[in-house]
Structure 1
Amino acid sequence: MKKNSWTELKRGTLLGICFAVLLMFAAVPCQAQQTTVSLNMPELVKGNTVYATVSVDNVENLDAGQFDLVFNPDVLKIVSVENGSIGNTEIPVQWRSVDSKTARVIFNLEGVNGVSGSGELAKIGFEVISDGKGDLIISNGLLGNTEAKRIDTIWGDSKDDGKEGEEQEADTKQTATPGFETELSMIGLTAVVCLARGKQR
């Protein structure tokens, strides 16, 4: 009798543990794919105009963002910055020169729906004015969603001159937890874009 009771107790305990484990797995949501931004640069040939593309993958509810392009001004000269697109949604970009080797690109989608998926944030035209390395990198990147919160993003090095760079995961991965400072940054970014649009009208 005691043996049967002990066997039933062990069986019940085992079933309870299995049920608890199943509940734990059910409670954990599926891991969303990581949002990444990469910069692709074709081979540089003196006298040519080349186009670098800033690509984004697996973004959700993107609404606004900004990033800096840093390059070697002895080799490259920016001649244009064109709008990007994700699916059928155009990414309207504005840009300005910060200094001789840095350009800042900002964007803010109209409306409150945002956009999800993969595509290009911008395409940048460079005139190759001399031989050498372009040293093109992307820095100070920030993507925000429709709730004015930062999107957790890994920003990659450029694939400069046709050679792949390594991703700066440790240094460029944005924090996933949005704070008051981040929300202020997104509000400020939206205001800057609105002012830029107002000046163009």
Structure 2
Amino acid sequence: MVLVAVAFILTFVGSGAVSMPALTQGQAQITSTFQDNVLTVSVKNAFDLTGFQFAVNYNPEVLELGRFEPLLPIEEGAFLNNNGAEETFFTYSQENEPGLIKGIVAARLGKKPGVKGSGELAKVYFTAKGEGNPEISISGSIITNSAAEKVPHQVMPVEIGEQAQQPATQNAPGFDFTLALVAVVVIVAIAVFFFVAKK
């Protein structure tokens, strides 16, 4: 049955956003935070959760997917491993477009029931490449239960926090380092000339 859930989720990789009903009391929520160029995606109020899938949209002028090699750009969270899962299936699309990660997919394997409660689903790591609004969001989300059924849920807006600063790659505006270096060399040369002339 759980393997059916895996196949069910995989059929939706790369699909468009799924319209979900308004939030009701006790309904599952997908929440996320973007802090220090790391997107952390979590779930709240889950019940019998066996798998999930979502896409990530971002501003390619501001962010670039990935971090220093050999570290992976996307990591699975620990939530699906709760309640004694034998192992989990986790993958993400390798054929993405600038500004879009088409599919991040995970499912519980084995015969254990689904998990309930709240916890982390995945982390997505970015590198800053410019200034501006990261425009980061979650779309196309699907969560499934042990009967391979889609579970109604709501996707909350990404909470944006402080970001790691991009390393400086150029001099401050209005300051020409080359001209300053030339000026120093000229001053030193003049000083040496007068020192030699006095002798």
Whether the TM-score (by the shorter chain) exceeds 0.5 is yes
Larger CA Rg, structure 1 vs 2 = 2
Matched, 1:53 2:40: yes
Matched, 1:65 2:67: no
1:6-28 deviation line (CA, Å, top 9, x unaligned):
xxxxxxxxxxxxxxxxxxxxxxx
* 1:57 alignment partner, SS class: strand
Q: How does 1:26-175 map to 2 (within 5 A)?
A: 33-42=26-35, 50-79=37-66, 80-86=73-79, 89=82, 92-96=89-93, 97-103=95-101, 104-112=103-111, 113-162=113-162
Q: CA deviation at 1:134?
A: 0.7
TM-score (norm 2): 0.58
Q: CA deviation at 1:98?
A: 3.1
The CA distance in 2 between the partners of 1:92 and 1:39, in whole Å, is: 21
* Structure with more helix by fraction: 1
Q: Name which structure has the greater RCO, CA cutoff 8 Å, separation 6+.
A: 2
Q: CA RMSD in A?
A: 2.2
1:106-163 deviation line (CA, Å, top 9, x unaligned):
111112422111101101111111111110000010000000111110111111245x
1:134-193 deviation line (CA, Å, top 9, x unaligned):
10000010000000111110111111245xxxxxxxxxxxxxxxxxxxxxxxxxxxxxxx
Q: What residue identity is the alignment partner of 1:37? A: I
Indicate the larger mover: 93-102 or 147-156.
Answer: 93-102
The CA distance in 1 between the partners of 2:89 and 2:63, in whole Å, is: 24
Count of matched residue positions in the alignment of Structure 1 and Structure 2: 127
Using a 3 Å threshold, how does the CA distance of structure 1 residues 32 and 135 change in structure 2: closer, same or farther?
A: closer
The CA distance in 2 between the partners of 1:95 and 1:88, in whole Å, is: 18
TM-score (norm 1): 0.58
Q: CA deviation at 1:72?
A: 0.5
Indicate the larger mover: 79-88 or 64-73.
Answer: 79-88
What 5-or-longer segments of structure 1 have no aligned partner? Answer: 1-30, 44-49, 163-201
